[in-house]
Amino acid sequence: MDFVSIRIITDEINRLVGFYEKVTGVQAAWGNENFAELRTAHCRLAIGTTRTVALSAPGSARPADNHSVIIEFLVDDVDALYERLKSVVEEFVNEPTTMPWGNRTLLFRDPDGNLVNFFTPVTPAAIERFRS
């Protein structure tokens, strides 16, 4: 088994895809007007409209209603990225903070309210955990 994707369901796909393109620097690949993916080396962030939910499991997912998942991205320099994102992100949950497990993290919300974490391992143990 290989974990390959997480999907966000939204009512405003163009807005959300545009936001993730800006914050990640990754261009989305569009399947159609209801579905797009941002592809990284190890995973894909899929973004679909509520119309995609209706095709397979009507009513099973609600847009802009996430209160339990944090979407995480490993980045080279969370502090530099924070400076760049100040003009893009409307709601930061915290500024870059070094966590007890050795990652420097930046939490913010996307336009639908989903939590996003950009992090950089900064201690030797954390750096070792993320070596490819």
pLDDT tens-digit readout, 22-76: 999 999 999 999 999 999 998 999 999 999 988 888 888 889 998 899 999 999 9
**pLDDT tens for each residue of 80-119:** 999 999 999 999 999 999 999 999 999 999 999 999 999 9
**The pLDDT value given to residue 101:** 96
Residue intervals in the chain for CATH 3.10.180.10: 1-61, 66-132
**The pLDDT value given to residue 56:** 82
Q: In what order do the strands lie in the sheet with 44-49?
A: 5-10, 44-49, 35-39, 29-32
- CATH code assigned to 66-132: 3.10.180.10
**The pLDDT value given to residue 100:** 97
**The pLDDT value given to residue 10:** 96
Residue 27 DSSP one-character state: P
- CATH code assigned to 1-61: 3.10.180.10
- Within 8 A by CB and 6+ apart from 19, the residues are 88, 110, 111
Q: What is the pTM of this model?
A: 0.92
pLDDT confidence of 132, banded at 50, 70, 90?
low
Residue 58 DSSP one-character state: T
Residue 131 has pLDDT above 90, yes or no: no
- Within 8 A by CB and 6+ apart from 30, the residues are 17, 36
**The pLDDT value given to residue 58:** 85
Alpha-carbon distance 124 to 86, whole Å? 29
